Amino acid sequence: MARYTTSDLSRKSGDVIADALRGPVTITQRNKPRLVLLSIEDYRRLMSRADSRKAGTLATMSDEDFLDFRHAVAAYAAEGEE
């Protein structure tokens, strides 16, 4: 993966963009990785594989999901009693 500093962004923007079109580019600041620059194709590919599940709480669950959850807990508890 190509690496550039934040200072390089202004001085070598053409090189940074050209490298990002070939693959992800790491941008460092004070010798620490801070950003990754991707082509739009790489970004879309990454997002299409992203986990779309969302975390929530019982308070934010829909009534239907809460009822399903209660049934699943009851079924699990019943299995333990056998």
pLDDT tens profile 20-59: 999 999 999 999 999 999 999 999 999 998 887 878 888 8
- For 72, the token pair is 């699943």
- For 41, the token pair is 């194709």
Beta strand pairing call for 2-5 and 25-29: parallel
How many whole angstroms from its chain centre is CA 3?
21
Q: Is 30 exposed, middle or buried (0-12, 13-18, 19+ CB in 10 A)?
A: exposed
Looking at domain 2-81, which CATH architecture does it have?
Answer: 3-Layer(aba) Sandwich (3.40)
Residue type for position 82: E
Residue type for position 7: S
Considering the chain, what percentage of its residues have pLDDT values greater than 70?
99
Domain ranges of the chain: 2-81
Task: State the pTM of this model.
Answer: 0.61
